[in-house]
């Protein structure tokens, strides 16, 4: 395979290419200097996204790491803490930014097998008002988390508990559209209970760059100060916002195809004895591969134009550049490999 050919890339849903229609929207975008709030395309995206998710205001930023960090730094000050899952992106995969840049102490809590944080644990980890303790200010949840959908009843109970205890609530909704589509519910409903929400446009929705942070107007205004300090003030960002807007308008409903393709892929791989295959709820699932097979499998797949983060525990991700035909190709490649493995 050379770089010009079509790779079937199952590493992440961040690998998508902007479609011709998305590129056309980017090329046609009216722009201004967004640090002056002068970019009409950014402003339109922010208003559109806020309305779509039922929030008062929105802020466009270069990444989900940044929108999450801005949210944490706006909710919490120096010496405050936030409750977060051990597996959560904001805790585990964002370089410790809340602690490093925000002087915010994370209080990580074990995630349950379904991705939730037990209500009893949330309650137990909220610290009393005592000079020995950091001030517990915020509960941060993630949906979807590792491809799993948090139940709406659970979210209602967890956010109600947090609010009753005087905590604010933030949702890392990088893939919250997948959660909504999977459950057949609206975007306003899926984010209910959260004071602020971060949504990635550059994952399954297919934009090249960007996330939005949604919340009350005063919160977003404060957040814009942090965004500037963190280096996220962008100038003629309308070219990016146009792609993000296009993604939100056109690519939410079609996430169902990614979920179907993940299910199809899991079913196909499930027929291979050497593998232990998880059951996808959305577009992400895990398979266990015998250690000794990993290296030759990676090479065999690459030879057929398939990229995957092959290891003993492999995450597979479907997205808008993976077709049903691609799924068949991948299942075929795995089957061929494991028919001859282990070599006699």
- Give the nearest residue (CB) to ligand PLP: 64
Tell me if 89 contacts ligand PLP by CB under 6 A.
Answer: yes
Interaction pattern, residues 310-329, with ligand PLP; x per rule: CB under 6 A:
--------------------
306-311, long-range: CB within 8 Å, 24+ apart, which pairs?
A: 306/7, 306/8, 306/9, 306/10, 306/330, 306/333, 307/7, 307/8, 307/9, 307/10, 307/11, 308/9, 308/10, 308/11, 309/10, 309/11
Nearest to 152 by CA among 192, 197, 199: 192
Q: Which is nearer to ligand PLP, 147 or 333 (CB)?
A: 147
**Backbone phi and psi for residue 81, each to the nearest 5 degrees, phi listed first:** -135, 160
Binding span for ligand PLP by CB under 6 A among 75-83, 115-123, 197-205, 288-296 = 197-205
Applying CB under 6 A, among 64, 106, 223, 278 the residue interacting with ligand PLP is 64
Tell me if 283 contacts ligand PLP by CB under 6 A.
Answer: no
Nearest to 14 by CA among 237, 207, 256: 207
Tell me if 247 contacts ligand PLP by CB under 6 A.
Answer: no
3-class secondary structure, 8: strand
Tell me if 111 contacts ligand PLP by CB under 6 A.
Answer: no
Strand order in the sheet with 57-61: 57-61, 211-215, 196-200, 168-172, 135-142, 80-85, 105-109
Take residue 124 and report the two structure tokens written for it.
């137990």
DSSP 150: P
Applying CB under 6 A, among 107, 178, 196, 211 the residue interacting with ligand PLP is 211
Task: Please tell me the distance from the alpha carbon of residue 152 to that of residue 119, in angstroms, as a whole number.
Answer: 14
Tell me if 200 contacts ligand PLP by CB under 6 A.
Answer: yes
Interaction pattern, residues 170-189, with ligand PLP; x per rule: CB under 6 A:
--x-x---------------
Applying CB under 6 A, among 19, 63, 105, 304 the residue interacting with ligand PLP is 63
Binding span for ligand PLP by CB under 6 A among 154-162, 200-208, 236-244, 254-262 = 200-208
Applying CB under 6 A, among 39, 142, 195, 258 the residue interacting with ligand PLP is 142
**Would you tell me which residues interact with ligand PLP (CB under 6 A)?**
63-65, 68, 89, 142, 172, 174, 200, 202-203, 211
């Amino acid at each position: 395979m050379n770089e010009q050919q079509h790779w079937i890339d199952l590493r992440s849903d961040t690998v998508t290419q902007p479609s011709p229609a998305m590129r056309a929207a980017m090329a046609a975008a009216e722009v201004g200097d967004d640090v002056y709030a002068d970019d009409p395309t950014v402003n339109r995206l922010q208003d559109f996204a806020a309305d779509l998710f039922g929030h008062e205001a929105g802020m466009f930023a270069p990444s989900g790491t940044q929108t999450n960090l801005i949210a944490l730094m706006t909710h919490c000050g120096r010496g405050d803490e936030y409750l977060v899952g051990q597996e959560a992106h904001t805790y585990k995969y964002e370089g410790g930014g809340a602690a490093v840049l925000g002087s915010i102490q994370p209080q990580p809590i074990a995630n349950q097998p379904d991705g939730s944080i037990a209500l009893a644990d949330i309650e137990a980890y909220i610290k009393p008002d005592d000079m020995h303790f950091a001030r517990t200010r915020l509960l941060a949840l993630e949906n979807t988390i590792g491809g799993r959908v948090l139940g709406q009843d659970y979210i209602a109970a967890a956010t109600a508990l947090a609010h009753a205890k005087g905590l604010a609530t933030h949702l890392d909704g990088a893939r919250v559209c997948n959660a909504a589509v999977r459950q057949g519910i609206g975007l306003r409903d899926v984010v209910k209970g959260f004071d602020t929400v971060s949504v990635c446009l550059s994952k399954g929705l297919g934009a090249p760059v960007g996330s939005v942070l949604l919340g009350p107007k005063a919160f977003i205004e404060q957040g814009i100060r942090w965004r500037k300090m963190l280096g996220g003030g962008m100038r003629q960002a309308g070219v990016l916002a146009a792609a993000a807007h296009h993604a939100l308008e056109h690519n939410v409903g079609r996430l169902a195809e990614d979920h179907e393709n993940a299910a199809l892929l899991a079913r196909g791989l499930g027929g291979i004895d050497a593998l232990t295959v998880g059951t996808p709820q959305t577009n992400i699932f895990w398979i266990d591969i015998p250690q000794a097979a990993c290296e030759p499998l990676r090479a065999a797949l690459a030879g057929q134009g398939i990229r995957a983060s092959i290891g003993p525990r492999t995450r597979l991700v479907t997205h808008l550049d993976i077709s049903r035909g691609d799924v068949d190709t991948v299942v075929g490649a795995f089957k061929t490999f494991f028919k001859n493995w282990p070599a006699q």
